[in-house]
Amino acid sequence: MIIQEMKKEHTDEVFQMMKVFYSSPAVSTNGSDEIFMSDIQNCINDNPYLEGYVFVEQDKIMGYAMAAKSFSTEFGKPCIWIEDIYIKPEYRGKGIGSQFLVYIEQKYRDSILRLEVEEDNTAAVHVYKKSGFDVLPYMEMKK
């Protein structure tokens, strides 16, 4: 399995995966086609705050991920938010998500890694805990 930067030619397939991901119980919001396209365009157009990746084996895209960059004053270092990790059902359980987390951790060695996960998504929670993530004891809010 190879982790590649998202490129223009991945747009249609990533868009379809996003539609599936954001309509699943793994995500609490549904998003929209407009948001999905904006996210993909920001990944492929060198936005300094958002990176997109695809997981490829033998020219087949098995999934995608997006990571956003910020700074955490709470932890005093750069922060990488794992925004999306989606693996197509037929490729789940093969360690792809874990490999991506190792990849990001190595790429951003002096950064804090953060992510959100639905509590009911026990498979993802297991992967994240196995990868060293801890649950933070507070609520996140948005406006």
Please check the confidence at residue 80 and state whether its pLDDT lies above 90: yes
Q: Which of 22, 64, 86, 128 is catalytic?
A: 128
User: What is the phi/psi pair of residue 25, to 5°?
Assistant: -70, -5
- Is 128 considered catalytic here? yes
β-strand pairing of 77-87 with 50-57: unpaired
6 pLDDT above the threshold of 80 = yes
Strands, sheet with 2-5, edge to edge from the N-terminal-most edge strand? 2-5, 50-57, 60-72, 77-87, 112-115
- Give yes or no for residue 44 having a pLDDT over 90: yes
* pLDDT range class, residue 100, cuts 50, 70, 90: very high
Find all residues with CB under 8 Å of 97, minimum gap 6, and list them. Answer: 63, 85, 87, 124, 127
Q: Work out the mean pLDDT of the chain and round it to a whole number.
A: 93
Could you tell me the pLDDT band of residue 79, with boundaries at 50, 70 and 90? very high
Q: How confident is the model at residue 141 (pLDDT cuts 50, 70, 90)?
A: confident
Mean pLDDT, range 85-114, rounded to an integer: 95
% of residues, the chain, pLDDT over 70: 100
pLDDT number for residue 29: 80
Instruction: Give the residue among 62, 108, 61, 119 at the shortest CA–CA distance from 82.
Output: 108
Asked if 68 and 75 count as a contact pair (C-beta separation under 8 A), the reply is no
